[in-house]
Every structure is written in C-alpha cells, then in structure tokens.
Structure 1
C-alpha cells in the first residue's frame, strides 16, 4: 500500500489462523456458469457436489490452489440487479465483487475482450493502494476486479 503503514500483526488473536479461502457466487444455471468460469477465466474444477437441491463446485484460478470460487447453481434465485457500470453498483449495499491479482491488467483485459467478457470501463490506477484496477462481469452481473501492483 502506498504511504500507509500496516497495523502490527496480532498472533494472539483467536482468529490469527484465519486466511482467505473462497467466495461463493450464486448463479441460476450451474452448467453455464461452470462453463463460463472455466472457458473465459481458465478456472479449474477442483470438486463438485450437490446440497439442498443445488449443484456446487469449487473452482480455482489456473495457477492458484489457495483461493476458490464456489458456485451455487440451479433452482430459481432472485435475479437481483444486473449492473452495466461500476458507479451504479455503488448505490446498493451487498456483496460487491471479488478480486483476482494478475501480472498485467491491460493484457488480461485484452484477452477477456477477445473472449467476449463484459468489461466495466477502462482500467484505472489507484495510487493509495498501489494498484491498477479494472472490473469485469460474469453473465449474471457478478463483478470481478482485476488488480495489478504498480511499480
């Protein structure tokens, strides 16, 4: 982070072992969502199962086994709000996005554009967190941030 000192770690916290693991994404069509994440983002299917009448899976990025997207598919979920730009998405309190770190936001966007992925505007630099950022959307309006560390 630019010009911001991180608070000291707290190894005595009862939550000191906590680490990010996964984010769950609710989609109406499991097969279509699994196809989108594996074809557009090259995610890998690590596990699949059923629960409460839904189809679920853990998907992992192409070269990362420490973070997963958990798909919850099937049934008849409320379609919610499908955003077409980031600014409108800031008006509603709820889950907003999950982020993936990439080596080059611009290169990733060029490939995602070639693959027909929805891109929400041009990438931008946010010096306060030393990052170049862009947001994309899956077919159900779930937003995914791409993040690249600056310099």
Structure 2
C-alpha cells in the first residue's frame, strides 16, 4: 500500500524582528493573506495563504541570515532546502507585476524544455529563494 501525500505548506524560520516585515513582503509582493497567528512553546507561528499555496512563518530565536544570492549556480553550493516553487499561469505577466512592486528576478526567465516549463527565481526579504514556474 502506498502512502498518499499532498503538499501542505512551507515553513520559514525568522528572527523575531523580521516577522512583520516578512508578512508585509509576502502580502505586498505576492498577494498572500494572513490566515492565522498564534504563539506556542516560545515561538510565534503565522500562516499565510494565496489560493492553495500556504507558508508558515516561524518566529523565534533564529539568528544569522542567508546571504542574498548573486546567481543561481552560486546557490547550489550548500546543502539546504533550496527553494519553494510557485506555479503561475503567465510567467511574463507575473514578472512584470513584480517589477512594478520592486521585485526583479535574480535568475531567468529560463526555458526548460525537458519539463515543458519556463522558470524564474526571486528572493523574499530574508533571502528565501522562490521559483516561479509556468507551462511553455
């Protein structure tokens, strides 16, 4: 028997002083809405959503920051969760809207024929890499 799984959310840990700016970034740049916020075990948990996409911001004692990427290949140099990926209907339209909102891709758009997708990469205010993908 196989295990039936579905993706539920991505969790991002933050320093306490970055919680409000990160909520604002996802709200202002990618139109996420605040769904729920609560504290437990010394941490604050904040859930954001946009359609079926959910992000959990975990604010506690995190220290140190991921450096902002300078290029896509440079981000492949360390073991870690590399990125989250958001599917969009029209990559060019979304990139144009993001530019107006002050967000430019740091890589792409790229055409990836083996998977029939176009992709581009942006970063949030704390350095989380976000891939945007659409069908060719």
TM-score, normalization by structure 2: 0.90
TM-score, normalization by structure 1: 0.82
1:62-99 CA-to-partner distances (Å, cap 9, x unmatched) read xx1x3311011243422233322211101111011011
* Structure 1: gaps (5+ residues): 1-11
* Structure 2: gaps (5+ residues): none
- Report the counterpart of residue 84 of structure 2 in structure 1: 98
1:141 is matched with which residue: 124, 127, 136?
A: 127
| Structure 2 contact 90–134 (Cα < 8 Å) conserved | yes
1:31 is matched with which residue: 20, 26, 38?
A: 20
Greater gyration radius: 1
Higher fraction of strand? 2
Q: RMSD of aligned C-alpha atoms? A: 1.4
Q: How many residues align?
A: 134
- Report the counterpart of residue 126 of structure 1 in structure 2: 112
**Counterpart Cα distance in 2 of 1:124 and 1:39:** 25
Higher fraction of helix? 2
**Residue aligned with 2:108, SS:** coil
| Structure 1 contact 118–138 (Cα < 8 Å) conserved | no
Structure 1 segments of 4 or more deviating over 6 A?
none
**Counterpart Cα distance in 2 of 1:109 and 1:50:** 35
**Residue aligned with 1:132, SS:** strand
